[in-house]
Amino acid sequence: MSKKWSHSIWNWMTKKMDLPHDVMLDLPRITMIGQLHIYIENHRGLLVFTDKEIRLLLKTGQLLIKGNQFVIKTILPEEILVEGKIDQVIYIQ
């Protein structure tokens, strides 16, 4: 009951304050430009990086990105910009 109530309060606050859900609920924001670039905000850290796979820690779970020729263009504590050919983006609980 308390989780459901807490979730309802967050939804109400998000609507009333006109804030994006990713800000209020601490969710990742993922921006892709075709299959060439992916920009991820609000991650918790880089777990795996190869030229074919990237795995990021999220608040709940992980984000797996598969493809080829990955290059990290920018990495900050909560943001990452990757170039390469992106084939899949998968949430892992």
pLDDT in tens, 5-48: 777 876 776 677 766 666 656 789 999 999 999 999 999 999 99
Instruction: Extract the tokens encoding 76.
Output: 């900050």
The pLDDT of residue 84 is above 90: yes
The whole-number pLDDT of residue 9 equals: 76
The pLDDT of residue 1 is above 60: no
pLDDT digits (tens, 9 = 90+) for 46-59: 999 999 999 999 99
In a domain, 35, yes or no: yes
Average pLDDT over residues 60-85: 97
The whole-number pLDDT of residue 36 equals: 97
In a domain, 69, yes or no: yes
What's the domain count of the chain?
1
Rounded CA separation 24/27 (Å): 8
Rounded CA separation 35/87 (Å): 7
Q: What is the span of the domain harbouring residue 68?
A: 27-92
8 versus 77: which is more confidently predicted? 77
In a domain, 5, yes or no: no
In a domain, 82, yes or no: yes
The CA-atom distances, in angstroms, between 66 and each of 24, 58, 63, 71 are 28, 17, 10, 12
Q: Report the CATH number at residue 33.
A: 2.60.40.2000
Burial 21-42 (b: 16+ CB within 10 A, else e): eeeeeeebebeeeeeeebebeb
